[in-house]
Amino acid sequence: MKVSAFLRKSANKNNTEIQATIYFRLRDKNKDIKSASELTINPNHWNAEKQGYKDRVALISDSEKIKLKNDIQNIISFITQNYDEDADGEWLNVMIDKYHHPDKYKNKEQIEAERNLSFAELFDDFLLKHKLSEVRKKNFRVIKRILLRYELYVRNTKKNKGSFTLNINQITSDTLYDISDFLENEHIYYELYPSIYEQIPETRVPKQRGKNTIIDCLCKIRTFFLWCYKHNKTINKPFDKFKIDDCTYGTPFYITIEERDKLYEKDFSENKHLELQRDIFVFQSLIGCRIGDYYRMTKQNIINEAIEYIPRKTKDGNPVTVRVPLNNKAKDILEKYKGYEGKMLLPFISEQKYNDSIKKVFKLAEIDRIVTVLDPLTNEGVKKYLYEVASSHMARRTFIGNIYKKVKDPNLIGALSGHKEGSKAFSRYREIDEDMKKELVNLLD
């Protein structure tokens, strides 16, 4: 008996986005049965002999290649271990479905045992089994610690709550409102109840959270609850009666093409470190990627005078390859650092030091226009110099904003920026600029 993985779609070098389903085939004596899995791969990346990725695929991370390899091997092993002579096509369908959705096949005793897990144990189970990047896992661990501190806070402060424990089945919308209040005021409770933070510490002292940060925390808590419901950990759905507000954003501010060129032409020859960070910022503003995607780029992402990458935000859903042709300025920057021998696209430093350097080069280049930004705590507009609020994300906004001024087609720009089709983000770029406003008013003369 032999089990193997294969594709039914053939490679097409002109289509870099197509995804093919990975099938499994079982052959034994007079049997030859096949079934589809939920695994997918671009046919251009498939190695039939290895039953996995080809050795040199630039746009796919090593961890992603290893994960697919492990999934294929695990499915083959699972089918092999459970095989019997009566196996048929339906049996193979069930085996593969069992691998992808083990919770569907649990008996009542197993489900009941999992429903008796503590809140912390459930959260750990969620972190282990839910598909999350390492960065997202780190963010969710912060949420877990917040909730466990909330549990201690209730025990210490609420009447008749000395034995209170968070229970996935007993949390109500009222509990969620109380958690929301805790998120808003935790910086105060840190001072009032230091023993809580001795038991469940943070590397940073809790600071006052803005509305958008609280909303983000509540959305993560909701994700955990939805996962628990979906996987039969609970039948409780407290978010059905708890509304999470929408985040509030100001109009995106970014530098003009003239300001970008002023920054690029500024002489930093006496400070090579700042010159490098300036060049890295300008290059980012010419390809428009997110900082996380930027820092993962290597020289292999340069393909036929363009940058190609798969945005991390799309990897877990519908992976899309973004291709951004390089203009002359971008090519000049790459040529300037062609002697760099590292694997990365450019000599990156830590994100925090990069952001600090961006502010310095903006100030030295006198990019000091005053802009209105939204205060995260008060949600009111405040005036700031551009060099005070400059960051890596401004490079992305500069790319999107300046193109949007010239071509107001979100889908076309999204193909370059990695935004999903229909993204709400573009609605914030529809602010008519001052020159356009003057032109409109002059029509009344």
pLDDT bucket at 427, cuts 50 / 70 / 90: low
What pTM was computed for the model? 0.64
DSSP 247: P
Most confidently modeled range among 105-109, 344-348, 399-403: 344-348
Asked if 302 and 325 touch (Cβ cutoff 8 Å), the reply is: no
Residue 434 has pLDDT above 60, yes or no: no
pLDDT bucket at 231, cuts 50 / 70 / 90: confident
pLDDT bucket at 407, cuts 50 / 70 / 90: confident
**215-219, 258-262, 323-327, 424-428: least confidently modelled range:** 424-428
Residue 126 has pLDDT above 70, yes or no: yes
**42-56, 78-92, 158-172, 328-342: least confidently modelled range:** 158-172
Within this chain, do residues 417 and 376 fall inside the same structural domain, yes or no? yes
Residue 163 has pLDDT above 90, yes or no: no
Residues 6+ apart with CB under 8 A from 353: none
Q: What is the mean pLDDT of residues 403-412?
A: 71
Assigned domain for 332 exists: yes
Radius of gyration of the chain (CA): 26
Within this chain, do residues 155 and 26 fall inside the same structural domain, yes or no? no
Q: What pLDDT was estimated at residue 189?
A: 92
Q: What is the mean pLDDT of residues 82-97?
A: 91
Q: What is the mean pLDDT of residues 124-137?
A: 87
Neighbours of 24 (CB within 10 A): 23
DSSP 302: B
Within this chain, do residues 283 and 402 fall inside the same structural domain, yes or no? yes
Cα→Cα distances 293→282, 304, 323, 388, Å: 16, 19, 13, 24
Residue 440 has pLDDT above 70, yes or no: no
Assigned domain for 248 exists: no
Q: Which residues pair with 308 in a beta bridge?
A: 323
Domain containing residue 89: 2-100
Assigned domain for 110 exists: no
Question: Residue 37: phi, psi to the nearest 5?
Answer: -105, -175
Assigned domain for 426 exists: yes
Q: What pLDDT was estimated at residue 403?
A: 84
Assigned domain for 109 exists: no
Assigned domain for 342 exists: yes
Within this chain, do residues 232 and 273 fall inside the same structural domain, yes or no? no
Within this chain, do residues 69 and 38 fall inside the same structural domain, yes or no? yes
Within this chain, do residues 330 and 399 fall inside the same structural domain, yes or no? yes
Residue 160 has pLDDT above 80, yes or no: no
Within this chain, do residues 270 and 405 fall inside the same structural domain, yes or no? yes
Assigned domain for 131 exists: yes
Q: What pLDDT was estimated at residue 378?
A: 79
Within this chain, do residues 282 and 186 fall inside the same structural domain, yes or no? no
Residues 6+ apart with CB under 8 A from 188: none
Q: Is the model more confident about 431 or about 22?
A: 22
Q: What pLDDT was estimated at residue 204?
A: 84
Under DSSP, is residue 349 helix (H, G, I), strand (E, B) or coil? coil
**Rounded Cα gap, residues 164 and 186, in angstroms:** 19
Largest CA distance in the chain: 89
Both tokens assigned to 325: 């042709």
Within this chain, do residues 368 and 309 fall inside the same structural domain, yes or no? yes
pLDDT bucket at 109, cuts 50 / 70 / 90: low
Within this chain, do residues 206 and 343 fall inside the same structural domain, yes or no? no
Asked if 380 and 299 touch (Cβ cutoff 8 Å), the reply is: no
Q: What is the mean pLDDT of residues 98-120?
A: 76
How many folded domains does the chain comprise? Answer: 3
**174-178, 269-273, 397-401, 414-418: least confidently modelled range:** 414-418
Find the CATH number of the domain harbouring 287. 1.10.443.10
Q: What pLDDT was estimated at residue 276?
A: 96
Please give the mean pLDDT across all residues of the chain.
86
pLDDT bucket at 67, cuts 50 / 70 / 90: confident
Q: What pLDDT was estimated at residue 265?
A: 95
Residue 108 has pLDDT above 90, yes or no: no
Q: What is the mean pLDDT of residues 122-148?
A: 91
Assigned domain for 107 exists: no
Within this chain, do residues 83 and 209 fall inside the same structural domain, yes or no? no
Closest CA to 188 of 206, 210, 215: 206
Residue 143 has pLDDT above 80, yes or no: yes
Within this chain, do residues 71 and 124 fall inside the same structural domain, yes or no? no
Q: What pLDDT was estimated at residue 310?
A: 85
Q: What pLDDT was estimated at residue 111?
A: 63
**53-67, 73-87, 284-298, 370-384: least confidently modelled range:** 53-67
DSSP H helices, 210-350, are: 211-230, 257-265, 272-287, 291-296, 312-315, 328-336
